[in-house]
Amino acid sequence: MLSKILPVNEHPIERAFRVLLGLALLSIVFVGPKTLWGLIGIVPILTGLVGSCPLYTVLGVRTCKVAAKS
């Protein structure tokens, strides 16, 4: 059931990039301008860790290979 709501639709390299981008954005809260806009970094961190992007699901986009059904 969860795989229908949050299907894995991100390539592993994209997932790593999202986590790194999220950490960089989140660091804005503590270093630099110290603005709360950096909290938006939580979104790419979560999507990278889960491996599913809700926007990709809505648009029908996949960046990872589809497993062959046997």
Provide the residue type at 9 as one letter.
N
Query: Read out DSSP for the chain?
Result: -HHHHS---S-HHHHHHHHHHHHHHHHHHHSTT--GGGGGGHHHHHHHHHT--HHHHHHT---SPPPPP-
pLDDT digit string, tens, across residues 10-41: 999 999 999 999 999 999 999 989 999 999 99
Report pTM: 0.86
